[in-house]
């Protein structure tokens, strides 16, 4: 591999890592009574908030079918891997997802179903 290709690969990796670093907790929810719970929230893939920001998903943008979940992100329906589902009770009450963007698209780190009200 040429020096230029290696340099470009290193710069691309640095940009990805920098992007992930800025996606971490910025402190705006530090006073929330649920913050300690969110900090320990995990799926079988690991801690939810450690590598991705979670956000609320509106009821029309997620569904359960045949025992599996899917969620609509950026206009595309994405299957939620079974090991990304948070199995503990949802103390926040709303459906939430923690997506991670990578070279092969969007993957789901954690998904926590809500009540579909």
Quote the pLDDT of residue 28.
62
Whether 17 has a pLDDT exceeding 70, the answer reads no
Whether 21 has a pLDDT exceeding 90, the answer reads no
Task: Report the alpha-carbon distance of residue 58 to residue 31 in Å, rounded.
Answer: 25
> Which residues, at least 6 apart from 20, have a Cβ–Cβ distance to it below 8 Å?
51
Whether 29 has a pLDDT exceeding 60, the answer reads yes
Task: Report the alpha-carbon distance of residue 114 to residue 18 in Å, rounded.
Answer: 32
- Quick check: pTM over 0.75? no
Quote the pLDDT of residue 26.
60
């Amino acid at each position: 591999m040429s020096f230029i290709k290696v340099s470009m690969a290193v710069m691309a990796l640095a940009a990805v890592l920098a992007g992930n670093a800025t996606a971490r907790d910025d402190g705006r929810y530090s006073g929330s009574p649920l913050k300690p719970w969110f900090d320990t929230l995990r799926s079988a893939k690991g801690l939810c908030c450690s590598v991705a920001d979670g956000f609320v998903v509106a009821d029309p943008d997620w569904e359960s079918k045949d025992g599996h979940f899917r969620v609509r992100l950026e206009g595309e329906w994405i299957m939620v891997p079974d090991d990304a589902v948070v199995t503990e009770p949802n103390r926040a009450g709303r459906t939430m997802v923690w997506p991670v963007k990578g070279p092969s698209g969007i993957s789901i780190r954690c998904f926590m179903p809500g009540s579909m009200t």
